[in-house]
Structure 1
Amino acid sequence: MPHDACGHSDTFTGDDPAFRRVLWIIILLNGGMFLVEFVAGAIAGSLALQADSLDFAMDAATYGLSLAVIGMAAATRARAALLKAASLGLIAAWVLGTALWRVAGGGVPEAFTMGGIAIAAFAANLLSVLLLWKWREGDANIRSVWLCSRNDAFGNLLVLAAAAGVFGTGTRWPDLAVAVVMSALFLQTSFLTARTALAELRGARPSGGTHGDHAGHAH
């Protein structure tokens, strides 16, 4: 998949009623899974589950932002993508910091709760990926939706692996290790989204002046 879609007239910007309906479904799905994983993560004492729940919450919020800026000027869509990239970076920093703090102490997570919730979360994200497959290529705003859903499905498999590791070793280390890996995954998605958005933002600004109303048609 291309990372820099700037300058192509056929770049999909989300202006499709079918895409909007799919995005609404995914927003509701992510919001529901955030509540489920947040409670389960607290009960199980799993940082990996808590990280995944925050990711669901952030996805619901940023997908709502994606929906809101569809049809707006190219520069506005690019700035929305930059906001999403920054939010992912903050989540990554929190997860990494919490993991380092828990190295000093903490209980062993409950493996069966981790595993069961991870399977449910994977099913939700796999459904999101399949629904978005048709629109996986697009501008930074649309591409960030695809990247988040794809990476989230991978993250759920990591949580499942952490649950197996906790069960097999009887320690918290697999949970913390997966939390660190998920933090790195969040950072990667943040970087890819920001890189594409910055390229599109440059493309939306004609040299020698500020962008005008035609910026919305730059893609």
Structure 2
Amino acid sequence: MACCSDDACASTAAPAEGRYRTVLWTVLAINAAMFAVELAAGLAAGSAALQADALDFFADAANYGISLAVLGAALRFRARAALVKGVSMGLFGLWVVGTVVWNSLTGTVPGWATMGGVGLVALAANAACLALLYAWRSGDANMRSVWICSRNDVAANCAVLAAAAGVFGTGAGWPDLAVAAIMAGLALQGSATVIRQAMGELRSDRQGQGPVPVLR
């Protein structure tokens, strides 16, 4: 098996890390832009599913941003940043749940054309992120988690498109509400996991222990 000296390995790893950082900044910009677009479109069209998908873009943008901001920082700073992310995700998830309840009570039928059009744009954006991250799909745990997250986002976009087709075919709002409820539930579950992990790391840091195991 080939090996290299520390200096040689460092010189080889540095450009790769730099490229990965650049890719993270790029996918962060894409996700932040799509969060704003989908949120505005979801509110305008009365679509809870688009708002839920906007939540997904928000969570990804926050994940990339926090990863870049606290890269190499002490455990307590990373844990605090993750705690802020978890709470934000939870609040946004509750907002989507409230939208689902409100739309179900008022009988809102979202604009399927807006849902479909913006859903296609979102799918293209996530496909671009997936292509950018493809080279790091088999990297370390952090790199692989980013790849898997982006891969799952494509499935969420397809769910939004299915909801748009359902609204078009039935003339009712329940397909939109069903997809939004599922996505909001997953977001709340993810929020709870992040918060528990962050709280555990903060306790571990105060006690002078190492990082706690990742919660599933």
In 2: Cα distance, 1:79 partner to 1:144 partner: 20
Corresponding residue number in structure 1 for 2:191: 190
Tell whether the 8 Å contact from 1:27 to 1:59 is kept in structure 2 after alignment.
Answer: yes
In 2: Cα distance, 1:163 partner to 1:32 partner: 22
Tell whether the 8 Å contact from 1:81 to 1:144 is kept in structure 2 after alignment.
Answer: no
Task: Tell me which protein shows more helix as a share of its residues.
Answer: 2
Tell whether the 8 Å contact from 1:148 to 1:189 is kept in structure 2 after alignment.
Answer: no
Cα gap change, 1:94 to 1:151, in 2 (>3 Å): farther
CA drift of 1:58 comes to 4.5
Q: Give the aligned residue type for 2:158.
A: L
CA drift of 1:172 comes to 0.7
Identity of aligned pairs, percent? 52
Query: What TM-score results when the alignment is normalised by the length of structure 2?
Result: 0.75
CA drift of 1:182 comes to 0.7
In 2: Cα distance, 1:148 partner to 1:93 partner: 21
Corresponding residue number in structure 2 for 1:155: 156
Tell whether the 8 Å contact from 2:55 to 2:93 is kept in structure 1 after alignment.
Answer: no
Given the alignment of the two structures, is residue 29 of structure 1 paired with residue 30 of structure 2, yes or no?
yes
In 1: Cα distance, 2:197 partner to 2:140 partner: 12
Equivalences for residues 1-219 of structure 1 within 5 A: 16-133=17-134, 134=136, 137-138=140-141, 145=146, 148-198=149-199, 200-201=201-202, 204=205, 207=207, 210=208
In 1: Cα distance, 2:144 partner to 2:95 partner: 24
Q: Give the aligned residue type for 1:170.
A: G
Tell whether the 8 Å contact from 1:115 to 1:160 is kept in structure 2 after alignment.
Answer: yes
CA drift of 1:190 comes to 2.2
Tell whether the 8 Å contact from 2:100 to 2:177 is kept in structure 1 after alignment.
Answer: yes
Query: What TM-score results when the alignment is normalised by the length of structure 1?
Result: 0.74
CA drift of 1:164 comes to 1.0
CA drift of 1:68 comes to 0.7
In 2: Cα distance, 1:146 partner to 1:48 partner: 23
Cα distance per residue 1:141-185 (max 9 Å; x no partner): x77755653443322121111101101100011111111011012
Tell whether the 8 Å contact from 1:144 to 1:193 is kept in structure 2 after alignment.
Answer: no
CA drift of 1:118 comes to 1.0
In 1: Cα distance, 2:78 partner to 2:148 partner: 16
Determine which structure has more spread, i.e. the larger CA radius of gyration: 2
Long gaps (5+) in structure 2: 1-15, 212-216
Tell whether the 8 Å contact from 1:147 to 1:189 is kept in structure 2 after alignment.
Answer: no
Q: Give the aligned residue type for 1:29.
A: I
Runs of 4 or more off by more than 6 Å in structure 1? none
CA drift of 1:16 comes to 2.6
In 1: Cα distance, 2:64 partner to 2:105 partner: 36
Q: Secondary structure at the match of 2:117?
A: helix
Cα gap change, 1:174 to 1:83, in 2 (>3 Å): same
CA RMSD, 1 decimal: 2.9
CA drift of 1:137 comes to 4.2
- Bigger CA drift: 73-82 or 194-203? 194-203
CA drift of 1:196 comes to 4.5
Q: Secondary structure at the match of 1:16?
A: helix
- How many residue pairs end up in the alignment? 194
In 1: Cα distance, 2:48 partner to 2:25 partner: 28
In 1: Cα distance, 2:73 partner to 2:39 partner: 34
